[in-house]
Amino acid sequence: MKNRIIWLAMGLALSLTVQAQNRFFTKTGHIDFFSHTAVEDIKATNDQVTSFLDTSTGDMVFSVLSRSFQFPKPLMQEHFNENYMESEKFPKASFIGKISDLKSVDFTKPGKYQVKIAGKLTIHGVTKDVEAAGELSVDKDKIDGTSVFSVKPEDYDIKIPSVVKANFAESMKVTVQMNYQLYIPKK
Amino acid sequence: MKKKIWRLAGIAVLLMIAVAGFTYWYGFMRKEKPIEKMKADFVISADSLFAAFSVSEKAATEKYGGKILLLKSNIVSVEKDGNGNVTVTLVDPMMGVTCTIDSLEAVKQKGEIAALTEGQSVTIKGRCDGMLTDVKISKCMVVK
């Protein structure tokens, strides 16, 4: 519910800034996570990430549905949703934060910029402060953003039974790829 | 008596092999059922689906979350991303219903997808994942 309010607030803010050239969004962002162990590799992808970026303030919001992660094996997906993420109880994960070194980016000049991102990451109902490095590729009316960072399931109270613990790396490598487009509200 | 024990032992071994085989298939070899072979749990318009989530996201998630839907609506937009996934947006660009046809399905349905145009009526089958600003439908295919 809290997330829904945030999204509605963002949507309202966007709708009120018809003239603004600083609001970007995507509904088809990509996030994947990868775990490598001697037993097996586990990778899941989600191509339905919704995210907003305000280039004037550096504010960033991401939200994903746990059910939208796709696994190569149906059993992995079932375990992920039912046992680990408890998707019925915690259907969403989100990040609310900002580009902390916004001055290093010239959004009027196409190019690639290295940035630092900091904020609060909520997974499985647990919120933690996180920091990550990222890269923004600025182009006319669109911005691509990428970042790679690590997440430890135990930090988010995700319990992995000891019988399958050897199948999971202690840290998951998370890759984020956003394809922001300038938000142009309907007239 | 001895013959009976051997027979029981044989049946037990066969059962164990069958259980092990099923476990291996279920865990490692089982493929996801293709969307075209899945029966729709609900037939609903995209407008009605979005309205249901707007009224009560919790109730709508409980009812439609993880279920296969047959959605009817007019197309707002059709976009293809760099990974080959095709997104068909229904109702509204931001606060509507977003249907994702994954890259493998998009190859299979190349002709049907090429024929989609903005404003056209479409029927799409897919799995409801829940709501962000929009209702997300994944594993989609164009029915007609």
Map tokens 């606060």 to a residue: B95
ipTM of the shown complex: 0.79
pLDDT by 10-residue block (mean), chain B, 144 residues: 84 84 66 85 96 95 94 93 91 90 93 94 96 94 92
Interchain proximity B83–A47, CB inside 8 Å = yes
> What's the domain count of chain A?
1
Interchain proximity B138–A74, CB inside 8 Å = no
Instruction: Take residue B104 and report the two structure tokens written for it.
Output: 């493998």
pLDDT at residue A186, as a whole number = 61
- What's the one-letter identity of residue B97? V
Instruction: Look at residue A80 and tell me if it is in a domain.
Output: yes
Domain of A30, in residue numbers: 24-182
Interchain proximity A25–B94, CB inside 8 Å = yes
Alpha carbons A91 and A87: distance in angstroms, whole number: 4
Interchain proximity B132–A50, CB inside 8 Å = yes
Alpha carbons B17 and B86: distance in angstroms, whole number: 43
Instruction: Take residue A18 and report the two structure tokens written for it.
Output: 């018809």
pLDDT at residue A165, as a whole number = 83
CATH of the domain at A153: 2.40.128.110
Task: With CA atoms as reference, report the closest residue to B141 among B45, B59, B68, B58.
Answer: B68
Same domain for B76 and B51, yes or no, is: yes
Query: How far is the CA of B61 from the CAs of A91, A116, A123, B58, B135, in angstroms?
Result: 9, 35, 18, 5, 10
pLDDT at residue A18, as a whole number = 45
Same domain for B24 and B66, yes or no, is: no
Same domain for B98 and B127, yes or no, is: yes
For B32, which of A14, A48, A74 is closest by C-beta distance? A74
Which regions of chain A does DSSP assign to beta strands (E)? Answer: 23-36, 41-54, 59-65, 92-99, 111-123, 126-139, 142-151, 172-182
Interchain proximity B61–A91, CB inside 8 Å = yes
Domain of B16, in residue numbers: 1-30
- Residues contacting A113, CB < 8 A, separation 6+: A104, A105, A106, A135, A136, A138
> What's the domain count of chain B?
2
Alpha carbons A103 and B66: distance in angstroms, whole number: 43
B25 with B33: CB under 8 angstroms?
no
Same domain for B19 and B39, yes or no, is: no
Residues from chain A that touch B64, judged by Cβ atoms under 8 A, are none
Q: What is the largest CA-CA distance in chain B?
A: 78
Say whether B94 sits in a helix, a strand or coil. coil
- Residues contacting B101, CB < 8 A, separation 6+: B85, B86, B87, B88, B109, B113, B140, B141, B142
Alpha carbons A179 and A105: distance in angstroms, whole number: 17
Report residues of chain A scoring pLDDT below 70: 1-20, 185-187
Adjacent-strand bridge partners of A112: A137
pLDDT at residue A166, as a whole number = 86
Instruction: Look at residue A14 and tell me if it is in a domain.
Output: no
Interface mutation target, options A25, A41, A47, chain B, most CBs of B under 10 Å: A47
Alpha carbons A65 and A140: distance in angstroms, whole number: 30
Same domain for B42 and B1, yes or no, is: no
Task: With CA atoms as reference, report the closest residue to B134 among A101, A28, A155, A97.
Answer: A28
Alpha carbons B15 and B9: distance in angstroms, whole number: 10
Same domain for B23 and B82, yes or no, is: no
pLDDT at residue A105, as a whole number = 94
pLDDT at residue B110, as a whole number = 93
CATH of the domain at B61: 2.40.50.140
Instruction: Look at residue A9 and tell me if it is in a domain.
Output: no
Instruction: Look at residue A1 and tell me if it is in a domain.
Output: no
Q: Is B38 on the interface with A (CB under 8 A)?
A: no
Map tokens 């931001």 to a residue: B94
Q: What are phi and psi of B142, to 5 degrees?
A: -85, 125
Same domain for B74 and B99, yes or no, is: yes
A93 with A63: CB under 8 angstroms?
yes
Same domain for B13 and B61, yes or no, is: no
Q: Rounded to a whole number, what is the distance in Å from the CA of A73 to chain B's nearest CA?
A: 7
